[in-house]
Amino acid sequence: MSTPVAVVTGASRGIGHHVAEGLEKAGYAVERGSRAVAEVTDREAVERWVGDIVARHGRIDLLVNNAGVIDTEVPIEESDPDEWWHTMEVNVLGPYLVTRFALPHIVRAGGGRVVNLNSGAGVRPGAVASAYNASKTALARITGSTHLSGAAHGIRAFDLAPGVVRTDMTLSMPSHEGRTEWTEPHEVVDLVLALASGDLDAWSGRMVRAGVDTPESLRERADAGLDDAARTITLVPWGSDDPLG
């Protein structure tokens, strides 16, 4: 069997670097994305980069959309519109474009998996850094759409919240000043490898969280059964008589 090919965006540092290293150690041929390789918000650059990967390897089996930014931690009324929109572009348009151009090749390879680095911020509003929260909620919808449209083609898609890993980004955030408990990078890598292996396909279209979930706990939970809405961002009706229920 040919060597499986993984594409990891934002892999020059932080979580993306750890994930790329872990995949390589597990036997993947890893294509590392960075701004120097292809700006994820640049359609032509992304399409060209994905085409080059396929030209060299002949396939893509795994996509990890990791590249992301956070806006300044201020209330929405104090936010900078340009920075706010840039955050949305990187965190939403970026993974959309890479998924859009990688997915046909994953289908042609016989199926594969997409892992989107999401956040607990995506499941709730925030008093500050509103673009980050909004972008991660939107990313979950991309994950869900990838899951639904790709299922018939052997595609599985997951939201992976990494917890709080000690990175340049988290260390620069006032909200994490004084933090003493961090998610270890290997906990994120272990989940990526488990998701990529197919062992956790029952979690496709759902969110898992490093530092809380483990491959073993997720397998056990899946074996016990998952409600349709479990670990998804879903409207909660007020009761059986709610017309939106």
What whole-number distance in Å separates Cα of residue 22 and Cα of residue 16? Answer: 10
* Domain hosting residue 148, numbered range: 5-224
Q: Does residue 234 lie within any of the structural domains?
A: no
The per-residue pLDDT for range 234-245, each reduced to its tens digit, is: 999 999 999 997
Residue 182 has pLDDT above 80, yes or no: no
Q: Is residue 153 part of a domain?
A: yes
32-43: average pLDDT: 89
Q: How confident is the model at residue 48, as a pLDDT?
A: 97
Over residues 117-167, the pLDDT tens digits come to: 999 999 999 999 999 999 999 999 999 999 999 999 999 999 999 987 666
Q: Give this prediction's pTM.
A: 0.92
What pLDDT is recorded for position 39? Answer: 93
Percent of the chain with pLDDT over 70: 93
C-alpha angle 204-206-212 in degrees, rounded to nearest 5: 115
Taken in order 162, 19, 193, 229, the sign of the CA dihedral is: positive
Would you state the pLDDT for residue 173?
67
Tell me how many domains the chain contains.
Answer: 1
Q: In this structure, is residue 220 part of a structural domain?
A: yes
Domain at 89, CATH number: 3.40.50.720
What is the per-residue pLDDT for 99? Answer: 98
Is the residue at 230 inside a domain?
no
- pLDDT, tens digit (0-9, with 9 covering 90-100), for 64-123: 999 999 999 999 999 999 999 999 999 999 999 999 999 999 999 999 999 999 999 999
Is 238 a member of any domain?
Answer: no
In this structure, is residue 13 part of a structural domain? yes
List the 62-65 sheet strands across, edge first: 29-32, 5-8, 62-65, 112-117, 155-161, 207-209
Task: Decide: 241 and 233 in contact? Cβ < 8 Å.
Answer: no
**What's the pLDDT at 191?**
97
Q: Is the pLDDT of residue 221 over 70?
A: yes
Give how far Cα 198 sits from Cα of 119, 137, 174, 178, 194, Å: 22, 25, 38, 38, 7
Structural domain includes residue 101 = yes
Is residue 239 in a domain?
no
Render pLDDT for 7-22 as a digit per residue (tens, 0 to 9). Answer: 999 999 999 999 999 9
